[in-house]
Chain A
Amino acid sequence: MSMFAAAIIGVVVTMAMALLRALMGPTIYDRILAVNTFGTVTVLAISIFGFLMGRPEFLDIALIYALINFAGTIAVLKFLRYGDLGRASAEPDEDI
């Protein structure tokens, strides 16, 4: 039990640091990375909290969180790269 408590303290500290980076973060990529990290850490926090409360079925919820987090980040990066979300496969760029 104390192991889970220590783990959740570490996760909360990581959350705070990711939040700070999202608030300060000089470039946009710092903030994107911070949000993505925050999502991952939320997944960890939910699963650890499930074990801490003796209800490991929270793990399923955490798994679905991980999938959603991925989709959001993809949308953000696509917006930055192409300035548009609608195109399924944009025309190939010259520099790739």
Chain B
Amino acid sequence: MEGILNIILLGGMAVTAIAIAKMRNLFVVTMLSGIYSLLSAGIFVLLDAVDVAFTEAAVGAGITTVLFLSTLILVGREAKPRQFRMQAILPFLLVLAVGAGLIFASLDPNMPRFGDPNSPANQRLAPEFLADSVPQVGNEAPTRVGIPNIVTTTLASYRGYDTLGEVVVIFTAGIAVLILLGAARRRREDEELEGPETGAKPEPPKEDSRMADASKEAPGS
């Protein structure tokens, strides 16, 4: 059941990705990237990583759509038609060769199976994390972390400080961008109000005229 769902979701992702690459209408591309993100969120749920899935849906389908749309306001909805160039053949062949080589390397019988619990990568830290997160069979005592989902345990407990640092960085960047954009917008509004009066322009409301007066008092701002 889970395997079939995985195949369906991955197939949908592949179809969506090809469509995104082919489309020239950027608005449609934005819509399709939202679908792509929801599909990958579904895959994360299948992998039992609901936190990651939630982040993917919030950032990919929610925020990124809004960011793409605000970019489209500036650049227009249609992409320029791309013409075929002969120089593009060589990189394409190179990519095909490297991809085929990687797939060939993964077919080696000495490589551990995908998700193999006995593979060397899963030997050192994973058993300890599992023991701290998932209750042992026959032992109902609470575990050290006490969260039944292993992905949540790793993200929220073991990587808690890491996540906190990420949040601080993104919050600082967001505040800086808001300050910069807000300053630019205020200056533009002031200039518009100071500009030559045209007959068609409506009378500015009271607060705006006060703002214009304030900016006239401080020239060069």
> Which A residues contact B (CB, under 8 angstroms)?
5, 8, 12, 15-16, 19, 22-23, 28, 31-32, 34-35, 38-39, 42, 45-46, 49, 52, 58, 61, 64-65, 68-69, 71-72, 75-76, 79, 83-86
Contact A68 B15 (CB under 8 A): no
Across-interface contacts of B1 in A (CB, < 8 A)? 5, 52
A95 to B27, CA, bound (A): 25
Report whether over half of chain B's contact residues are helix, strand or loop; otherwise say mixed: helix
Query: Is the Cβ of B57 less than 8 Å from the Cβ of A49?
Result: no
Contacts of B66 in A (CB 8 A): 72, 75, 85
User: Is B73's CB under 8 angstroms from A35's CB?
Assistant: no
The answer to whether A68 touches B35, judged by C-beta atoms less than 8 angstroms apart, is: no
0/1 interface trace, chain B 13-43, chain A, CB 8 Å (1 if under): 0011001000000011011101100100110
Nearest CB on B from A81, distance (A): 12
Instruction: Take A12-B5, A64-B54, A72-B65 as given contacts and tell me if A83 and B73 are in contact as well, using a CB distance cutoff of 8 Å.
Output: yes
Q: Is the CB of A46 within 8 A of B42?
A: yes
By a CB distance below 8 angstroms, the chain B residues around A79 are 69, 72-73
Complex formed: what's the CA distance from A39 to B37 in Å? 10
> Chain B contacts of A86 at CB under 8 A?
70
Number of interface residues of B (CB under 8 A): 32
Whether the Cβ atoms of A76 and B50 lie closer than 8 Å is no
Determine the chain B residues whose CB is within 8 A of the CB of A72 once the complex forms.
Answer: 34, 61-62, 65-66
Q: Which residues of A contact B32 (CB under 8 A)?
A: 22-23, 31
Q: Do A46 and B45 have beta carbons less than 8 Å apart?
A: yes
Question: At the interface, yes or no: B8 with Cβ under 8 Å from chain A?
Answer: yes
Known contacts A35-B31, A65-B54; decide if A23 and B15 are in contact (CB<8 Å): yes
Knowing that A49-B45, A58-B45, A76-B30 are A-B contacts, what are 9 other residue pairs whose CB atoms are under 8 Å apart, sorted by A's residue number?
A12-B5, A16-B8, A16-B12, A28-B27, A31-B32, A32-B31, A42-B57, A49-B46, A75-B66
**With A19-B12, A65-B54, A72-B65 as contacts: A38 and B35 at CB distance below 8 Å:** yes
Contact of B61 among A34, A39, A49 (CB under 8 A): A39
Give, as a whole number of angstroms, the nearest-CB distance from A32 to chain B.
7
Determine whether the beta carbon of B62 is less than 8 Å from that of A68: yes
